[in-house]
Amino acid sequence: MGKWEDNVRRVVPYTPGEQPKKAHMIKLNTNENPYPPAPEAAEVLKSFDASDLRRYPDPAAQDLICGIADFYHVKSEQVFAGVGSDDVLAMIFLTFFNSGRPVLFPDITYSFYDVWAKMLRIPYETVPLDADFRIQSEDYNRPCGGVIFPNPNAPTGELLPLASIEAVIRQNPDVIVVVDEAYIDFGGESALPLIEKYDNLLVVQTFSKSRALAGSRIGYAFGAPKLIRYLNDVKYSFNSYTMDRVTIEVGAAAIKNRAYFEETIKKIVATREWTKEELRKLGFVFGDSKSNFIFAAHPKIPAEELFEALKEADIYVRHFTEPERIRNYLRITIGTDAEMQELISFLKQYGKDRRLC
């Protein structure tokens, strides 16, 4: 046998949440939006001419980039787009975390960061969250090769105030600071205005959550034009045509509808606050999530047991076994009012049957 296996780039991949193919289920496990995307997305799909697929897409995805730039009142040179924010974040790791010094991110955070770091052989150090699962900006005041964290953080939903984000950026002028704002639209204040002030800041967002287009795969980053140029250089050295024609058109059309976007978010936020109240009555403990999920634990019911019981009832939530500190928590995505009512009814009955809540 040859020794080729010695030279394989071995990786332990990121595990995405389950996508069960059941007709009747309540799917609260991958932070998807329970409402459809803006109607403009459906209109594009209905009128799309399949013969256009003969041609390669626009490698610069200009229609989409200009749509994003218009919506956020920035210049198109300040926007980079990719195949979901996962693609954008992977390009950022590849482009900017290249100093050989460790990149810093929280110990409890999006579990893709350490996967990219390991795959790309980027050294990293995790910075423990405080006892309330909060990021402390002082902890990021040390020599490093870059900083990345989600705001609100995932899977905790905890929001870091803009002043603390600015402190992290100011403490780290010689490296790139990345704020992953996948969930910012559900109640946080975006760091976007800070890109005008700091040329070492990248703000990453996605169409997957607040714009209900997880299936289309659209993510984007805002930053100084120089940062965007460096990102594009790496992208074009990897794959020029990352985004397909349909996706570019769908994204460009959907982002035009500001009213629908705002209305959907309002509904999800109202449902989230209702769910918090109900979970509190049942004895669950959780922080003040500003995202489209709640990270909750019950002092008397082990998370793993509840996760299995919910799954048995075709209610899917997410349970992380690592790190140890979050083993007793469940991450529950906010669905429609009806879905959350069903979840709460199930939990009430479960607690009653076991005389726990």
Site residues for ligand PMP per CB under 6 A: 84-86, 110, 150, 154, 180, 182, 206, 208, 214, 219
Decide whether 102 or 251 has the Cβ nearer to ligand PMP.
251
Smallest distance, Å, CB 242 to ligand PMP? Answer: 12
In terms of DSSP bridges, do strands 293-297 and 329-333 run parallel, antiparallel, or are they unpaired?
antiparallel
Decide whether 216 or 275 has the Cβ nearer to ligand PMP.
216
Decide whether 16 or 173 has the Cβ nearer to ligand PMP.
16
Decide whether 86 or 185 has the Cβ nearer to ligand PMP.
86
Q: Report the length, in residues, of the chain.
A: 357
Whether the CB-CB separation of 96 and 122 falls below 8 Å is answered with no
The token duo for 239 is 């794959």
In terms of DSSP bridges, do strands 146-150 and 293-297 run parallel, antiparallel, or are they unpaired?
unpaired
Smallest distance, Å, CB 63 to ligand PMP? Answer: 19
Decide whether 106 or 351 has the Cβ nearer to ligand PMP.
106
Whether the CB-CB separation of 14 and 112 falls below 8 Å is answered with yes
Cα 87 off chain centre by = 12
Q: How many CB atoms lie within 10 A of CB 107?
A: 13
Residues 6+ apart with CB under 8 A from 293: 28, 31, 154, 155, 157, 183, 331, 332, 333, 334
Q: Which of 188, 145, 144 is nearest to 164 (CA)?
A: 188
Smallest distance, Å, CB 123 to ligand PMP? Answer: 21
Smallest distance, Å, CB 86 to ligand PMP? Answer: 4
Decide whether 154 or 347 has the Cβ nearer to ligand PMP.
154
DSSP 318: B
Locate tokens 């045509």: which residue?
241
Locate tokens 């120089």: which residue?
226
Decide whether 275 or 333 has the Cβ nearer to ligand PMP.
333
Residues 6+ apart with CB under 8 A from 268: 33, 34, 35, 186, 292, 334
Q: Which of 237, 283, 267, 280 is nearest to 334 (CA)?
A: 267
Smallest distance, Å, CB 32 to ligand PMP? Answer: 9
Decide whether 85 or 275 has the Cβ nearer to ligand PMP.
85
Taking CB atoms, the residue at the shortest distance from ligand PMP is 84
Smallest distance, Å, CB 208 to ligand PMP? Answer: 3
Whether the CB-CB separation of 296 and 329 falls below 8 Å is answered with yes
Smallest distance, Å, CB 180 to ligand PMP? Answer: 5
Smallest distance, Å, CB 14 to ligand PMP? Answer: 9
